[in-house]
Amino acid sequence: MEDELLPQVDEKGMVIGSNTREAFHKNPKIIHPVIQCWIFNSKGQILWQRRSFKKETSPGMWDISCGGHIRFGESVKTALKRELAEELGIHNSKPVFVETYIARQEQQTEFVYLCYIVLDCNITDFVLQEEEVIQVQWIDVWKAQLQYISKEVEATDFVISGVSRILQFLAAKQFT
């Protein structure tokens, strides 16, 4: 997996080459694209994913509903469909694109394609990819963010940054 080929992009998301997953995860000076998709239900809750303890980064932490790397030569749309199907068993969803942004971390830099979908279903309807996801739950947005801020749970900062970006996007749509 570490020798998997991923696209290298510039700060505008244009592909400028390729490199291995391992190289990207050890060098924050080079950028690779990822997809992040938050899943909401009609109650306004988010689907929170708990990462497998086998994951290299943030093992066992609560994270975005679904996400992953975009492979070299793969489109954003194809990567999103693949990740939703692999991680959660979701097919035929209608994602809404929100924005792109750069997420700089100590070990890596990601060019993020952020989107969301609205899906009403039970937790038991999801088919989890055990190597990636060990648990999912519906949770109120405010509760997830409060638990993150108060350190009641271990979660990635995307619970704040990603969800806030989507909520701002939705609020702006309401006033235009």
Band (176; pLDDT cuts 50, 70, 90)? confident
Burial class for 150, CB neighbours closer than 10 Å (0-12, 13-18, 19+): exposed
The helix-helix angle for 158-174 and 141-149 (nearest 10°) equals 140
- Residue 55: alpha-carbon gap to chain centroid: 14
What integer pLDDT is reported at residue 60 of this predicted model?
Answer: 94
What span, in angstroms and rounded, lies between the C-alpha atoms of 107 and 99? Answer: 23
CATH fold of 5-174 reads Nucleoside Triphosphate Pyrophosphohydrolase (3.90.79)
Burial class for 169, CB neighbours closer than 10 Å (0-12, 13-18, 19+): middle
Single-letter amino acid, residue 126: F
Any idea where the domains of the chain sit in the sequence?
Answer: 5-174
User: What pLDDT digit, counting tens, does each position of 18-77 carry?
Assistant: 999 999 999 999 999 999 999 999 998 999 999 999 988 889 999 999 999 999 999 999
| Beta-sheet pairing, 31-40 with 66-69 | antiparallel
Question: What does pLDDT average to over the chain?
Answer: 93
What span, in angstroms and rounded, lies between the C-alpha atoms of 138 and 65? Answer: 10
| Beta-sheet pairing, 109-118 with 96-104 | antiparallel
